[in-house]
Amino acid sequence: MTANIIDGKAAAERLRQQVGLEVSRLVTEYQLQPGLAVVLVGDDPASQVYVRNKGRQTVAAGMLSLEHKLDVAVPENELLALVDRLNNDPAVHGILVQLPLPGHIDEQRVLQAIDPAKDVDGFHPANVGRLATGDPAAMAPCTPMGCTLMLREQFDGALCGQNALVIGRSNIVGKPMAQLLLRESCTVTIAHSRTRDLPALCRQADIVVAATGRPEMVRGDWIKPGAVVIDVGINRIRFEGEEKARLVGDVAFDEVVEVAGATTPVPGGVGPMTIACLLRNTVVAACLQRGVSCGLV
C-alpha cells in the first residue's frame, strides 16, 4: 500500500479562500475589518520568516496586519506594556506573540497578559480551560486546529470512535490536539517520553499525530496498515555529505508512506495550515468581539 499524501499547501489555500470571502462579507455588511497584531522579539531567522508570512497572508485575506518587532534585549515590562496597548486597541482583534521568546522573558507571564478574547493562539489559560470544557467559543491553538481540519477531510467528517494516538504532551501541540480529537469523539491516548512500548501502542491507532520533536522517530513498522499519520515535526538536519540542512518531520516518511492510508509530508503538510488557522481564528475573534455571527465556525 502507498499512502495518500495529504497536501497541506492546498488545504491551507482552500481555508484562506474561505477566510477571504468571510472578511469581504464582514467589511460589506458590518464595516468590520479584522485586525491581527503580531509581536516578534529578537532576530531568530525561522521566526522572522513565519512572522513575515503571517503578515503577507493577513493582508492577502483583506485583513489589517500590524507587526511589532522588538529588540532581543527588550525588558519584559516593555513587552507587557505593548501587549496592554494592543489589548486596548479597537482595531486589533487578534494578538500573537511569536514563540520562542528570549530566555530573560517569562513566556507564561506574557501569554497570560493577552486579553483571552484576542488570544488567537489559544494559549491563554482561559482558552485552554474553555477548550477542555468543550466551550464552542474557545480559541484553539493553530497547529492542532490545522491537524484536526485535515483529519476531518481524510475521514469525511467521520472521526467519531477512531482510536487516536497523540505522541507528545506540549501545551502548544500535544495537549490541545488531544482535546480537539476528544471533541471529535475520538478515543484519545496521549503518549510521551516515559510511555512504555510506544510501537505497540502506535500499532493500535487509526490516527497517529506525531509531535515528539525527535527527527524520524515514528517508524513504518509502528503503523497499522491504513492508519492516518499526521507529522507535526519540523527538524532541520544536516545529513553527512550534504551542504544544506534538510527539513524532516518526526515521522520516517519513506517507511510510513508504504504502510499508512494517508500521511502528511514535511514540509508542505501541517506547517502551512498553522498560518491559515491563525487567519481563521482572527476572523472568529473579530466576530465574537463585535457580537456578529461568523461563517467560519
Q: How many residues bind ligand LMY7XDAE (CB under 6 A)?
A: 18
Task: Indicate whether 121 belongs to the interface with ligand LMY7XDAE (CB under 6 A).
Answer: yes
> Which member of 5, 27, 80, 99 binds ligand LMY7XDAE (CB under 6 A)?
99
Smallest separation, CB 267 to ligand LMY7XDAE (Å): 3
54, 118, 175, 224: the catalytic one is: 54
- Sole binder of ligand LMY7XDAE in the list 35, 116, 174, 271 (CB under 6 A): 271
Kindly give, in sequence order, each residue whose CB lies less than 8 Å from that of residue 183, ignoring residues fewer than 6 positions away: 131, 134
Catalytic residue among 57, 118, 119, 121: 121
Angular region, 271: left φ>0, alpha ψ -120 to 50, beta rest:
alpha
Q: How far apart are CA 295 and CA 297, in angstroms?
A: 6
Active-site residue identified among 57, 98, 154, 179 = 98
What are residue 187's DSSP bridge partners? 163
Q: Which of 102, 220, 261, 268 binds ligand LMY7XDAE (CB under 6 A)?
A: 268
- Listed in order, strand segments (DSSP E) in the chain are 4-5, 35-41, 64-70, 94-97, 163-167, 187-191, 207-210, 228-231, 235-237, 246-248, 262-263
Secondary-structure breakdown of the chain: helix, strand, coil percentages, each rounded to the nearest 5: 40, 15, 40
Q: Out of 63, 83, 96, 186, which residue is the one contacting ligand LMY7XDAE (CB under 6 A)? A: 96
Of residues 11-50, those binding ligand LMY7XDAE (CB under 6 A): 46, 50
Cα separation of 108 and 124, whole Å? 8
* Catalytic positions: 54, 98, 121
Q: Would you list which residues are annotated within the binding site for NADP(+)? A: 168-170, 234
